Homo-oligomer: A and B are copies of this chain.
């Protein structure tokens, strides 16, 4: 039952091609655009303070990534988030390396007052965003998904948001309903941008519409698609280089039956 609901969102994205405004980072912006295109969404990386407010109101969702934050981008992000919020455009936050670096941690903690619809990060980032002790090692998590469950639920309830902690195990919660996904492959953290692109994919999935009252469904669907496609791609490839093309192919071509038979999930109480 759940797999077919989730895959119906994959289909919605393919059919509706939601326009996703990405304020991305310099390292993974290309990968992010390609993941969105493969999934059937339409990415656009408009960056200038002069343009973001005008553009975000045309978009179906906004994706904000702090990976290479600087002062100019921080300003553009604030303008975009505010304009998007005024226009009812939902936004997703990827708090890259929050908890490990002061400037972005302070920025992110203020930014979430503007109520992201979804937050997606690794365990260290979610703990760091929730105000936990500094952790993380650059962009890598030093904590496990299990360690971040409490922080994720607290953030979700506090912000009325969905929080997705991704890693070897993914945990997605809106504070009331929670799920664990166990797909993907250990090669994925050895490819830059698999996490950043997933955050933008979540934005595409909530931007496709139809689940305004329950964004947990499209958020879970995006994480599930990325993981299932990744697991299948890893099986047929020899390393992190050949993984990427295969992952994009799978994101574009995965069918409902293969999705359902590959998905490993467990709803949590």
A: which residues have CB within 8 A of B?
A: 19, 21, 24-31, 33-34, 37-38, 42-51, 54-55, 58-59, 67-72, 97, 100-104, 137-140, 189-193, 237-242, 244-253
Q: Do A248 and B252 touch (CB < 8 A)?
A: no
Contacts of A241 in B (CB 8 A): 34, 38, 244-252
Q: Do A248 and B239 touch (CB < 8 A)?
A: yes
Q: Do A51 and B103 touch (CB < 8 A)?
A: yes
Q: Do B97 and A70 touch (CB < 8 A)?
A: no
CA of A137 to CA of B49 in the docked complex: distance in angstroms?
A: 19
CA of A220 to CA of B49 in the docked complex: distance in angstroms?
A: 36
CA of A30 to CA of B189 in the docked complex: distance in angstroms?
A: 14
Does more than half of chain A's interface fall in helix, strand or loop, or is it mixed? mixed
Q: Do A249 and B253 touch (CB < 8 A)?
A: no
Q: Do A240 and B191 touch (CB < 8 A)?
A: no
Q: Do A238 and B249 touch (CB < 8 A)?
A: yes
Q: Do A246 and B240 touch (CB < 8 A)?
A: no
Contact of A47 among B44, B68, B252 (CB under 8 A): B68
* Residue contacts A-B, CB under 8 angstroms, 25 given: A25-B45, A26-B26, A26-B29, A28-B30, A28-B33, A30-B192, A33-B192, A34-B241, A37-B189, A37-B240, A38-B239, A42-B138, A43-B192, A45-B67, A48-B71, A48-B103, A50-B70, A54-B101, A55-B101, A58-B138, A190-B252, A237-B249, A239-B252, A241-B250, A242-B249
CA of A21 to CA of B138 in the docked complex: distance in angstroms?
A: 8
Q: Do A246 and B242 touch (CB < 8 A)?
A: yes
CA of A239 to CA of B139 in the docked complex: distance in angstroms?
A: 30
Q: Do A101 and B193 touch (CB < 8 A)?
A: no
In the complex, the chain B residue whose C-beta lies closest to that of A246 is B241
Contacts of A28 in B (CB 8 A): 30, 33
CA of A187 to CA of B31 in the docked complex: distance in angstroms?
A: 16
Q: How far is the CB of A148 from chain B (nearest CB, A)?
A: 20
In the complex, the chain B residue whose C-beta lies closest to that of A26 is B29
Q: Do A240 and B26 touch (CB < 8 A)?
A: no
In the complex, the chain B residue whose C-beta lies closest to that of A29 is B27
Q: Do A44 and B138 touch (CB < 8 A)?
A: yes
In the complex, the chain B residue whose C-beta lies closest to that of A193 is B30
Q: Do B138 and A192 touch (CB < 8 A)?
A: no
CA of A246 to CA of B102 in the docked complex: distance in angstroms?
A: 38
Contact of A51 among B34, B43, B101, B246 (CB under 8 A): B101
CA of A247 to CA of B240 in the docked complex: distance in angstroms?
A: 10
